Amino acid sequence: MKKVSILITTIVFGFQFSSCQTNTNNKSISDKKPMETSYNKTDEEWRKELTPEQYHVLREKGTERPFTGKYTLTEDKGIYTCAGCGTELFTSDQKFDSHCGWPSFDSEIGKGDKIKKIKDLTLGMSRTEIVCAKCGGHLGHIFDDGPTATGMRYCVNSLSLDFKKDSTGTK
C-alpha cells in the first residue's frame, strides 16, 4: 500500500511540474529558431534589449523553472505587459494563484487581439502556446482547467512579463 501511495504521489507531482513547461534548460536550443514576426527588430537587437533569460523565453520558447518567477506570487494591483514590446496583456484582477508555479490569469485584456494562440505538439502533448500578438514573444501556454468563471488558465512565464503598478498603490 505504501508503494502505491508513493507511486501516485510521484505521478501527480510529475504531472503538475510539467503542466506548464516546454523547456526548463536556460541554454540556447539549436534546433529551435527564434520567433519570426513582423515586429521590426533583428535577432541582434532582441539580444541587446533582453536579458539572456528573457531572450531564451521570449524568442526561443523557453520556460523558467516553476516557483522562481518574480510575478508568481505578486498581489499588487496593476497591468502586466509584454517584456518584449510593452503591450498590455493582463490586469491584476485577471490573475489568480493556480499553484502551478507560474503566474496564472483567467483572461486577457481586450477582445482576444493581444495574444495569439498556436497549436503546440512538443513534448508528446497537444497544448496551446500563447504569444504576444504584437512582437511574437513566447508567453507560455493556455489550459482549460482554470478554477474561475472563465475556466481558462493562462500559464505565463514571469520572464516574459513586466509589471506597471497601479499608481493608487491599493491592493
Average pLDDT, the chain: 83
- Examine residue 113 and state whether it is found in any structural domain, yes or no: yes
- Examine residue 171 and state whether it is found in any structural domain, yes or no: no
- Examine residue 95 and state whether it is found in any structural domain, yes or no: yes
Here the cell at position 70 is 518574480
pLDDT at residue number 39? 75
82 in active site? no
H helices of 19-110, in order, are 43-49, 52-60
Query: CATH number for the domain including 90?
Result: 2.170.150.20
pLDDT at residue number 112? 86
Instruction: Specify whether the CB–CB gap between 139 and 120 falls below 8 A.
Output: no
In whole angstroms, how far apart are CA 144 and each of 15, 102, 147?
Answer: 16, 16, 9
- Examine residue 124 and state whether it is found in any structural domain, yes or no: yes
- Examine residue 170 and state whether it is found in any structural domain, yes or no: no
| Spatial distance between the Cα atoms of 68 and 154, rounded to a whole number of angstroms | 17
- Examine residue 134 and state whether it is found in any structural domain, yes or no: yes
**Residue 171 confidence (pLDDT) above 90:** no
**Residue 14 confidence (pLDDT) above 50:** no
Instruction: Tell me how many domains the chain contains.
Output: 1
pLDDT at residue number 4? 46
Q: Is 145 exposed, middle or buried (0-12, 13-18, 19+ CB in 10 A)?
A: exposed
Residues whose CB falls within 8 Å of the CB of residue 52, separated by 6 or more in sequence, listed in order: 26
As beta bridge partners, residue 138 has 131
- Examine residue 86 and state whether it is found in any structural domain, yes or no: yes
**Residue 28 confidence (pLDDT) above 50:** no
* Cell 529551435 sits on residue: 32
Exactly one of 20, 82, 100, 155 is catalytic; name it: 155
- The whole domain housing 23 covers 2-165
Instruction: Specify whether the CB–CB gap between 155 and 19 falls below 8 A.
Output: yes
